[in-house]
């Protein structure tokens, strides 16, 4: 159970951890958007644990003070930009999932174009 608590703190925004019993239904999508940004970071880092070497209190303090995960190695700038948008401190400023899908599609098109251009 201790490992689960460590993962939960690293995924959810600290505000929601302190207010989890009072999260309104319409805000839950913003919470999931934050979690999706962490999932995207994990995928782009090839499975690394977010906030490596930091305990729960350190992670909460870091994120509460505006700290964010660094971009994973070889992560395209637009993908990291999307992650940062998912972690926006104001939940209403985070993209919805339709917007996330559109931006991921754009990122894939840009990467395919760059790969093709590099081969010619």
pLDDT digits (tens, 9 = 90+) for 69-84: 999 998 989 999 999 9
Residue 46: the pLDDT is: 93
Mean pLDDT, residues 21-47 taken together:
74
Residue 9: the pLDDT is: 54
What's the CA gap between 47 and 67, in Å, rounded? 21
Enumerate domains of the chain plus CATH numbers: 2-118 (1.10.510.10)
User: What's the Rg (C-alpha) of the chain?
Assistant: 16
Tokens linked to 5: 């608590």
Statement: residue 7 has pLDDT above 60 = no
Tokens linked to 53: 């070497």
What's the CA gap between 105 and 119, in Å, rounded? 22
Residue 89: the pLDDT is: 84
């Amino acid at each position: 159970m201790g490992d689960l608590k460590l993962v939960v703190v690293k995924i959810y925004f600290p505000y929601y951890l302190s207010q989890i019993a009072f999260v309104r239904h319409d805000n839950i999508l913003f919470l999931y958007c934050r979690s999706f940004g962490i999932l995207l970071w994990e995928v782009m880092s090839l499975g690394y644990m977010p906030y490596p070497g930091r305990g729960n209190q350190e992670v909460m303090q870091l994120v509460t003070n505006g700290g964010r995960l660094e971009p994973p190695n070889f992560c395209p700038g637009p993908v990291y930009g999307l992650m940062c948008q998912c972690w926006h401190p104001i939940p209403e400023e985070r993209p919805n999932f339709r917007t996330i899908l559109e931006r991921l599609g754009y990122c894939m098109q840009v990467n395919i174009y760059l790969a093709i251009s590099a081969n010619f």
